[in-house]
Amino acid sequence: MCTKHNTRVSGPPVLTNLLCPVRALKVYLERSAPFRQSDRLFVCFSGRTIGAPVTKQRFRGTRWIVDTISLAYEAVGQVVDGLYLGNIRDSENRDSLSRNGITHILSVCNNAKPVLEDMTYLCINAADASSQNLSQHFKESIRFIHECRLNGGSCLVHCLAGVSRSTTVVVAYLMTVTSYSWEDCLTAVKAVRSFVGPNYGFQQQLQEFQMKHVSEYREWLRASYTPSPFEDQEQVKALLSLYAEQGRQNDPEWMSQSSRIYPLSCNQYSAPGSNR
């Protein structure tokens, strides 16, 4: 059984001479029972729980002092062909953008603005707050991503951390280009970027999008553009299989709090005019 313990974390600047940026941290843990040598340390960092490699560890009764711990930042992830999800650092990393063939950037964050001159941008100013109306931007976001892909480009969707706002936009796009539900599309994204999780308000907006608008958006996309050359349905299906194989649904509850799903009450799923 895993038990969650509070931690105090501090550390020096990010190291950049590695494949993925790594931050060295010093972690202090305390609890009422003494630590054992066999205990495994988990650290929750930016909403992501990591079973961390530990070096130079010392035990002092009920206090465990970890002198050095490495937490790898998850790199930009490809969701389907021509569509990537990442954070604000990824959006400014020229090497990563070039390596992945990124031509377009969809920024969804506070004070979003173009940064790189050789990129095509769609900037959406939005806060990561449950009260933020993000669904009003779904259509322009879907158009931006789809036209980028149809023209042979690749689009990076990012917010600050690549967890909530950008994930919501990517899920809305996947719902439109496939027949999958918002829950399935979110699960597929988790197979690529394990710690994603739209906030409560954004999840409600995705549910409402599914109930009221996604069929209309699918028809709009079919009527407005040439038949899609992409195998999005098959790729999302493959991601769902990958997620099941990874067994993340069996993680302890406290390890997946950042990606918890908050469904609407049953009566809110009823269609307008329905007796249900």
For 26-44, what is each residue's pLDDT tens digit? 444 444 555 454 444 444 4
Sign of the torsion angle spanned by Cα atoms 132, 138, 140, 142: positive
Single pTM value for the model: 0.69
Distance CA 145, CA 213 (A): 18
Residue 93 has pLDDT above 60, yes or no: yes
Question: What pLDDT is recorded for position 247?
Answer: 73
User: Does 164 or 62 have the greater pLDDT score?
Assistant: 164
CB 206 within 8 A of CB 200: no
Based on the residue annotation, tell me whether 159 is a catalytic residue of this protein.
Answer: yes
Alpha-carbon dihedral 161, 162, 167, 168, rounded to 10 degrees: 30
Take residue 33 and report the two structure tokens written for it: 């029972």
Average pLDDT on 203-227 reads 97
The predicted-structure confidence for 139-176, as pLDDT tens digits, reads as follows 999 999 999 999 999 999 999 989 999 999 999 999 99
Is residue 229 classed exposed, middle or buried when 0-12, 13-18 and 19+ CB atoms within 10 A define those classes?
Answer: exposed
Assign 58 to helix, strand or coil: strand
Which CATH architecture best describes the domain 77-259? Alpha-Beta Complex (3.90)
Tokens 């600050």 appear where? 160
pLDDT over 90 percentage in the chain: 59
Residues of the chain with CATH 3.90.190.10: 77-259
Candidate list 109, 159, 185, 266, residue with the active-site label: 159
The type of residue at 185 is: C
d(Cα 82, Cα 149) in Å, to the nearest integer?
Answer: 6
Mean pLDDT, rounded, for 47-57? 39
Say if residue 122's pLDDT is above 60: yes
Supply the pLDDT for residue 34: 52
Return the higher-pLDDT residue of 247 and 62: 247
For tokens 């197979």, name the residue: 191
Decide: 11 and 22 in contact? Cβ < 8 Å.
no
pLDDT at 276: 35
Of the candidates 84, 98, 91, the residue with the CA atom closest to the CA atom of residue 115: 91
The pLDDT of residue 23 is 39
